[in-house]
């Protein structure tokens, strides 16, 4: 059963590539959680995260390709955050995904101009890799942070420079609940107020 609340996708970073790597939840915890557990889940993510049409077919090979590219950009993000040199293998993987790049097409929807959505998984993945590359090789890398929750450690962009928790809210809320319980334990009988 996949009833775990961790199964929910998060689209809170405003950057598709960061939302994409967040599809492997709690990756450094004892129980990492794969949100892309089958081809249908990847299809759903592409629709919600990148505006792909439901007609975009997702095969098992596509799912494997997406997870593989996700791992590569996660490794590159980790290296950037750690101030380490990017591992050659991850760079090579990113380049292989980029070889499948096709540019977005402009289209008109409801009388308005829109950037086209990806029409295949390979195209979608190449866009995500390109976006990651642009962030990680540019000024945007300085805004990246890791969630303070030790089991989460999700990467997110923090233009304010003040966030401790990933924008999914899950970690921040969990932390506030725990802190509230700690305070209640330490000060018996004292009303420490509600959890925000």
Q: What sections of 9-152 are H helices per DSSP?
A: 16-21, 39-50, 60-82, 88-98, 121-136
Looking at the Cβ atoms of 94 and 166, the one nearer to Zn ion is: 166
Kind plus residue range of the DSSP H or E element containing 33: strand 33-34
Q: What sections of 99-161 are H helices per DSSP?
A: 121-136
- Rounded least distance, CB 129 to Zn ion, Å: 23
Does 22 engage in binding with Zn ion (CB under 5 A)?
Answer: no
Place of tokens 């792909």: 52
- Rounded least distance, CB 147 to Zn ion, Å: 3
Place of tokens 């929750």: 149
- Rounded least distance, CB 37 to Zn ion, Å: 20
- Binding to Zn ion, residues 150-189 (CB under 5 A): 152, 154, 166, 171
Looking at the Cβ atoms of 20 and 127, the one nearer to Zn ion is: 20
How far apart, in whole angstroms, are the C-alpha atoms of residue 160 and residue 150?
22
- For residues 111 to 150, the per-residue mask of contacts with Zn ion, x marking binding by CB under 5 A and - elsewhere, is ------------------------------------x-x-
- For 114, residues 6+ apart whose C-beta sits below 8 A from its C-beta are 106, 107, 108
- Rounded least distance, CB 123 to Zn ion, Å: 29
- Rounded least distance, CB 186 to Zn ion, Å: 25
- Phi (first) and psi of residue 114, to 5 degrees: -135, 150
Does 93 engage in binding with Zn ion (CB under 5 A)?
Answer: no
How far apart, in whole angstroms, are the C-alpha atoms of residue 193 and residue 107?
52
Looking at the Cβ atoms of 49 and 172, the one nearer to Zn ion is: 172
Looking at the Cβ atoms of 27 and 70, the one nearer to Zn ion is: 27
Looking at the Cβ atoms of 136 and 149, the one nearer to Zn ion is: 149
- Phi (first) and psi of residue 95, to 5 degrees: -65, -35
Looking at the Cβ atoms of 121 and 166, the one nearer to Zn ion is: 166
- Rounded least distance, CB 10 to Zn ion, Å: 9
How far apart, in whole angstroms, are the C-alpha atoms of residue 25 and residue 74?
12
Q: Which residues bind to Zn ion, rule: CB under 5 A?
A: 147, 149, 152, 154, 166, 171
């Amino acid at each position: 059963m996949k009833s775990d609340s961790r199964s929910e996708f998060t689209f809170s970073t405003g950057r598709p590539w960061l939302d994409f790597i967040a599809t492997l939840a709690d990756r450094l915890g004892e129980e990492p959680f794969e949100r892309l557990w089958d081809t249908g889940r990847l299809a759903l993510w592409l629709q919600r995260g990148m505006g792909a049409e439901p007609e975009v077919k997702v095969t098992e090979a596509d799912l494997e390709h997406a997870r593989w590219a996700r791992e590569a950009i996660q490794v590159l993000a980790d290296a950037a955050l750690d101030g380490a040199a990017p591992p050659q293998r991850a760079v090579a993987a990113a380049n292989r995904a980029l070889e499948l790049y096709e540019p977005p097409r402009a289209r008109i929807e409801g009388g308005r101009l829109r950037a086209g959505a990806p029409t295949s998984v390979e195209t979608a993945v190449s866009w995500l890799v390109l976006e990651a590359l642009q962030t990680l090789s540019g000024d945007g890398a300085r805004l990246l942070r890791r969630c303070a929750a030790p089991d989460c450690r999700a990467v997110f962009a923090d233009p304010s420079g003040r966030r401790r928790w990933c924008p999914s809210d899950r970690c921040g809320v969990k932390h506030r609940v725990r802190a509230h319980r700690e305070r209640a334990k330490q000060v018996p009988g004292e009303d420490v107020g509600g959890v925000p």
